[in-house]
Amino acid sequence: MSDHQATHEAFPTGAPAVVTCGLPYANGDLHIGHLRTYVGGDVYSRALESLGQQTAFVCGSDMHGTPIAVQAIEEGVDPEAFALEWHEQYAETFPKFGVEFDNYGHTHDDTNRELTYDIVERLEAEGYVYEKEIKVAWDPVDEQPLPDRYVEGTCPYCGEHARGDECDEGCGRHLEPGEIEDPVSTISGNPAEYRDRAHKFFEVSELSEYLDGFLDRLEGTSNARNQPRQWLEDGLQDWCITRDLDWGFDYPGEDDLVLYVWVDAPIEYIASTKQYTERVGADEYDWAEAWREDGEIVHVIGRDIIQHHTIFWPAMLEVADYVEPRAVLASGFMTLGGKGFSTSRNRAVWAREYLDEGFHPDLLRYYLATNGGFQQDVDFSWEKFRDRVNNELVGTVGNFIYRSLLFAHRNFEGTPEADVSEEVEARVREAIDDFEAGVNDYSVRAVGNATVELARFGNEYIQREEPWNLVGEDDEAAAQVIRDCVQIAKAVAVLFEPIAPDTSEELWDQLGEDGSVHDVTVDAALEAPPRDFGAPAELYEKIEAERVEELNEKLAARVAEATADDAGTETDESDADGEGDVSDIEPVADDRISFDEFQGLDLRVAEIVAAEPIEDSDNLVKLTVDIGLEERQIVAGIKQLHDVDDLPGTKVVVVANLEKAELFGHESNGMLLAAGEDADLLTTYGDSPVGTKIR
């Protein structure tokens, strides 16, 4: 196993760097909350390159796992085709926001397969994998295994209701497959049974000491170190790395077992880097050096997947003898007008939507990158967006550039003949230092602010020196000032490239520069600009107040509609064509049922005798219901929507022959009928006695 330095050298280092973004899971549309991570990664990798660091920026779509398998089945398509469709969409979307990966692959290809097998085999060879017979939840009716969160039941440790992979409501423990008691399928609702299955385990517990040291070395945002520390203290459990599933990579030598998605997903980071090398050649970028010798690996992720990147992933890398990550940057989440994004409720600003509104991607990049620290939760609103664009991009940066270049063009037809003043040269140096410090602090925000502050200085400077009063009076002095301003403009182009690649390129052209700003390093900020350039054009456009109102109205209307509607439309794929208004009312189901089938439902008039809220649940109420023949306990999700004390005495309609289920640890023997999101209870018009069958 490799030995790593306890401290890291500051960027830029001589080693190749790899910047990765968390793999998007190929099953849904991207919104600007997702984009925050990708823009952050892109800015960071561009900034590294600007410092002269050799950098590969890679990512790919995560194609495997149970959710995709299940969704594909629901849509009646092949999981691979299903995932590929999303993958292609992502691959198309990212560049539209200037997020330009050196390689964007996906987990279901040969490069990843080979590397995954290679690593898994190393884990085995090093003796870190063992087989254990465990009980796997199985749906006996649908004849399918129920991995992970497709089963729920009772936590064996604390007795609370829990999800298949985690005791989310009680003790918080990670649950390995087979541990949960009283399992029930979350797909079909069928009580699950356990079957003995041999599964593979990765002995993470043996690596606690290594991981402890790793976390000491790890750089990046503090949340990425704090969270896993807790895990380590509680003691690590070995990690089951196989699943009973058809979709994914078969476990080597086991054709009825598939590798757990979180094994092959991060390996795509390596695979994608390798594909990059295969494309450009090892002279340009050597993936093997980066991953096997001395690379600087920087992972940019959302904070929900910190554990995987700071425990499982480095453990795998360590055993398989790869380079460990140098830094993990875990972004905070985004809120929209103070509340969380909700894809299922269409409470989101979609990536595509933003572009359709005609906004320049650089504006959003700037907002996402500089609004709050990276690990901070950040709020998006169109008002804030407008304020920052108008004040900072238009007022400060754009205005300075335009006034300077316009003045230079009119009076000097380009860059005046003069040397940069000491003051301005020092100020540009300071901006470069701030930029570099930002990179080494893993703060994309600081990187962006360095430039805006430089432009702000530029405005002060030009204002103070008043070149417009010098022209004709003291042309030499005027030339000096404008020369300085052009230099600052050039520095802005160079230093703002990571944040606003497109407009920086435009500015670069305006300055009469050859080539691309993308290819220069920060040193260029101090080099002389070309002598001649033409009339400048405005870089950024103001956003009018009416525009904001309009956008807010659109959003509010959509959210209201989605909220009023039954959120029962589980997921939100397809139909995102954004055309026309979707009706508030769910369409009638296509499948007609026979009268006999209806007869199979035993619906009864019942009366609520007693009701008490279930502690710790937001929504569940335990009801005692009189159905004439007997009193029954039913659990219903109506706590927030009715005053629980008013419920007793209410006549309701219940499904009497529904199979029993256990919810939140309480038995539910039947189901009461209610309408819509508001859980408007169905009751009787006349006074049919309790127990009456409904037909």
For residue 424, give the 3-state DSSP assignment: helix
Which region, judged by CB under 7 A, interacts with RNA, from 289-297, 400-408, 490-498, 591-599? 400-408
Q: Is 254 in the site for RNA (CB under 7 A)?
A: no
Beta carbon of residue 20, minimum distance to RNA (angstroms, whole number): 20
Q: Is 679 in the site for RNA (CB under 7 A)?
A: yes
Residues 450-509 that bind RNA (CB under 7 A): 456, 459-460, 462-464, 468
Query: By C-beta, is 117 or 157 nearer to RNA?
Result: 157
Strands 296-302 and 17-21, by their bridges, are: parallel
Which region, judged by CB under 7 A, interacts with RNA, from 162-170, 210-218, 270-278, 574-582? 162-170
Binding pattern for the stretch 523-562 against RNA, x by CB under 7 A and - elsewhere: ---------------xxxxx--------------------
Task: Give residues with Cβ within 8 angstroms of 652, minimum separation 6.
Answer: 605, 606, 607, 608, 625, 672, 673, 681, 682, 683
Angle between helix axes 208-217 and 223-234 (nearest 10 degrees) is: 160
Query: By C-beta, is 319 or 336 nearer to RNA?
Result: 336
Which region, judged by CB under 7 A, interacts with RNA, from 44-52, 98-106, 121-129, 221-229? 221-229
Query: By C-beta, is 17 or 559 nearer to RNA?
Result: 559
Query: By C-beta, is 171 or 437 nearer to RNA?
Result: 171
**Chain centre to alpha carbon of residue 108:** 20
For residue 219, give the 3-state DSSP assignment: strand
Residues 169-188 that bind RNA (CB under 7 A): 169-172, 184, 186, 188
Q: Is 405 in the site for RNA (CB under 7 A)?
A: no
Beta carbon of residue 31, minimum distance to RNA (angstroms, whole number): 11
Could you give the CA distance from residue 421 to residue 591 in angstroms, rounded to a whole number? 79
Q: Is 193 in the site for RNA (CB under 7 A)?
A: no
From residue 666, give the alpha-carbon distance in Å to each of 613, 635, 659: 11, 7, 14
Sign of CA pseudo-dihedral 92, 93, 94, 95? positive
Residues 295-314 that bind RNA (CB under 7 A): 303-304
Q: Is 99 in the site for RNA (CB under 7 A)?
A: no
Residue selected from 29, 49, 102, 152 as contacting RNA according to rule CB under 7 A:
152
Could you give the CA distance from residue 99 to residue 468 in angstroms, rounded to a whole number? 40
Beta carbon of residue 377, minimum distance to RNA (angstroms, whole number): 5
| Residue that the structure tokens 């089945």 belong to | 73
Sign of CA pseudo-dihedral 637, 651, 629, 654? negative
Q: Is 395 in the site for RNA (CB under 7 A)?
A: yes
Beta carbon of residue 542, minimum distance to RNA (angstroms, whole number): 5
Binding pattern for the stretch 413-452 against RNA, x by CB under 7 A and - elsewhere: ----------------------------------------
Closest CA to 470 of 412, 553, 431, 511: 412
Q: Print burial letters for 179-202: b (CB count within 10 Å at least 16), e (below 16).
A: bbeebbbebeebbbebeebebbbb
Task: Give residues with Cβ within 8 angstroms of 165, minimum separation 6.
Answer: 148, 149, 174, 175, 177
Q: Within 10 Å of residue 423's Cβ, how many Cβ atoms?
A: 11
Beta carbon of residue 527, minimum distance to RNA (angstroms, whole number): 24
Residue selected from 52, 252, 613, 637 as contacting RNA according to rule CB under 7 A:
637
For residue 330, give the 3-state DSSP assignment: strand
From residue 136, give the alpha-carbon distance in Å to each of 66, 139, 270: 15, 10, 32
Tell me, letter by letter, the H, E, C secondary structure of 553-608. HHHHHHHHHHHHCCCCCCCCCCCCCCCCCCCCCCCCCCCCCCHHHHHCCCEEEEEE
Query: By C-beta, is 444 or 634 nearer to RNA?
Result: 634
Could you give the CA distance from residue 286 to residue 295 in angstroms, rounded to a whole number? 10
Residues 317-356 that bind RNA (CB under 7 A): 332-333, 335, 338-342
Q: How many residues sit in the footprint of RNA (CB under 7 A)?
A: 79
Binding pattern for the stretch 21-60 against RNA, x by CB under 7 A and - elsewhere: ----------------------------------------
Could you give the CA distance from residue 215 to residue 226 in angstroms, rounded to a whole number? 9
Q: Is 156 in the site for RNA (CB under 7 A)?
A: no
For residue 518, give the 3-state DSSP assignment: helix
Query: By C-beta, is 58 or 180 nearer to RNA?
Result: 180
Q: Is 68 in the site for RNA (CB under 7 A)?
A: no
Strands 671-672 and 181-185, by their bridges, are: unpaired
For residue 377, give the 3-state DSSP assignment: coil
Q: Is 620 in the site for RNA (CB under 7 A)?
A: yes
Q: Is 663 in the site for RNA (CB under 7 A)?
A: yes
Residue selected from 52, 252, 372, 676 as contacting RNA according to rule CB under 7 A:
372
Query: By C-beta, is 463 or 516 nearer to RNA?
Result: 463
Q: Is 168 in the site for RNA (CB under 7 A)?
A: yes
Q: Is 223 in the site for RNA (CB under 7 A)?
A: yes
Query: By C-beta, is 279 or 660 nearer to RNA?
Result: 660
Beta carbon of residue 24, minimum distance to RNA (angstroms, whole number): 14
Which region, judged by CB under 7 A, interacts with RNA, from 105-113, 472-480, 555-563, 616-624? 616-624
Q: Is 370 in the site for RNA (CB under 7 A)?
A: no
310: DSSP letter = I
Q: Is 367 in the site for RNA (CB under 7 A)?
A: no
Beta carbon of residue 80, minimum distance to RNA (angstroms, whole number): 24
Phi first, then psi, for residue 348 (nearest 5°) are: -165, 160
Number of residues that this document lists for the chain = 695
Q: Is 617 in the site for RNA (CB under 7 A)?
A: yes
